[in-house]
Amino acid sequence: MNTTDVAVLRKEFPMLEKTMHGKPLVYLDNAATTLKPRSVIEKEREYYEAYTSNIHRGVYYFSAFASQQFEDVRETAKIFFDAPEKEEIIFVRGATEGINLVAHSFGKAYIQAGDEILISAMEHHANIVPWQMVAKERGAVLKVIPIDDQGDLIMEEYKKLLTEKTKIVAVTYVSNALGTVNPVKEIIALAHEKNIPVLIDGCQAVQHLPLSLRELDCDFFVASGHKMYGPTGVGILYGKRKYLDAMPPYQTGGDMIASVSFEETSFAPLPAKFEAGTPNIAGVIGFGEALRFIEKYGRKEIAEYEKELLAYATAQVGNLPKVRLIGTAKEKASVLSFVIDGIHPHDIGTVLDTEGVAIRTGQHCAEPVMKHFGVEATARLSVSFYNTKEDIDHCVRALQKTLTLFG
């Protein structure tokens, strides 16, 4: 991607025409959520304006049409994520619901007292708490793969933590707080040597890196649509059929049953078994458009451009006085976390806000990571391929202003 491509791309995002406190918006909070291109917004609106109806049940034209649009996204997602079967793609509210579903249902089917669940020290709370709950419920033990001071997983420790007691490994592909890209292929292969299934939280990876579920061979995978230019309230859970078939339903209700009597209910086959109730139809259809949007630009091209942008941001922000970078892993994507000596991240965030620069400040739902690095909170900028070096320069000028104000 070159500057002309980016200039064209930026025109697709209505939010990039906005101002904040009278300054042009510089949006660097992409790890929280990405902005939405016009095509996604239009696609969602189209469902409400042109063919609103419920899916999977009506015999009339619009219902059949909406069902088709909805199911087409499953096919699009199968191709986008390179999943073996489209029935292995379950639409959920987002990655959080996906992880809760797996923790709950897999836990019921496979986890007994004394078993171990293995997560990492850099997980988002959404990939900690559901497992903690299941561990408590089943009498299992939650184990944690430690990280080093660069923010890399300590693989030697990981190997030691994989035992015959381990029932599942759940790790993030890319850390939302540190930007670390984990060696997930190796993580999965090592677990598989001992027949342990692996869940990958792909939230911060899918919009930045090319990936293939078939190649990764993970057993479960979750991602949120809103972090990949799609609508909020929609995401995917991928699970291998052999597990999903054996797991009990997470929620029950309409659309997920084969037959119901007051004595007994039999459940529908995949994917309906895990999609109880009317789903976020418009959201799923918009999500399909978001996947097409990413493919239009190409994930390899996006990754290369964002890598360059992140390197530039790292150099520029890293050069500022009193700045300490949090998370300097060997391989990183999108995220630059930092602290400034003597200035709380919130105050940094507010000064940047008045300069039109949106970044995230706080604990990033990763309190254990903050503890590891001995900080209360960090300031975090995260880039997308619609960002430019000028955006970074703008942010750096605002950081200089912060330093002057509190210096």
Active site residues: 365
CA distance 210 to 46: 29
Nearer to other proteins, 26 or 285 (CB): 26
User: What interhelical angle do 281-297 and 38-50 show, nearest 10?
Assistant: 150
Q: From start to end of 186-281, where are the E strands?
A: 198-201, 220-224, 235-239, 257-260, 265-267
Tell which one of 120, 361, 382, 387 touches other proteins (CB under 8 A).
361
> Residue 4's CB: how many other CB atoms inside 10 A?
8
- Site for other proteins contains 344 (CB under 8 A): yes
Q: Does 405 bind other proteins (CB under 8 A)?
A: yes
Residue 350 tokens read as 């507010």
User: Which CB atom, from 150 or from 350, has the smaller least distance to other proteins?
Assistant: 350
Which of these ranges, 46-54, 85-93, 219-227, 339-347, lies near other proteins under the rule CB under 8 A? 339-347
Q: How far is the CB of 295 from other proteins (least distance, A)?
A: 35
Interface characters, 271-310, with other proteins (x: CB under 8 A): ----------------------------------------
Q: Establish if 400 lies at the interface with other proteins (CB under 8 A).
A: no
Total residues in contact with other proteins, by rule CB under 8 A: 19
SS3 267: strand
Contact 180, 155 (CB under 8 A): no
Residues 221-260 that bind other proteins (CB under 8 A): none
Interacting residue with other proteins among 346, 390, 397, 400 (CB under 8 A): 346
Which CB atom, from 251 or from 350, has the smaller least distance to other proteins?
A: 350
Among 309, 377, 399, 403, binds other proteins (CB under 8 A): 377
Strands (E), 121-278: 141-145, 166-172, 198-201, 220-224, 235-239, 257-260, 265-267
Q: How far is the CB of 123 from other proteins (least distance, A)?
A: 17
- Distance, in Å, from the CA atom of 371 to the CA atom of 144, rounded to the nearest integer, reads 14
Q: Which of 75, 193, 215, 376 binds other proteins (CB under 8 A)?
A: 376
Does position 354 interact with other proteins (CB under 8 A)? The reply is: yes
Nearest CA to 222 out of 97, 125, 121 is that of 97
Residues 6+ positions from 168 with CB-CB distance below 8 Å: 106, 110, 111, 117, 118, 196, 197, 198, 199
Exactly one of 353, 373, 393, 396 binds other proteins (CB under 8 A); that residue is 353
- Alpha-carbon distance of 6 to 342, in angstroms, equals 36
From 147, 370, 379, 403, residue interacting with other proteins (rule: CB under 8 A): 370
According to CB under 8 A, which one of 326, 351, 379, 381 is a site residue for other proteins?
A: 351
Strand bridging mode 357-358 / 198-201: unpaired
Contact set with other proteins (CB under 8 A): 21, 343-347, 350-351, 353-354, 361-363, 367, 370, 376-377, 405-406
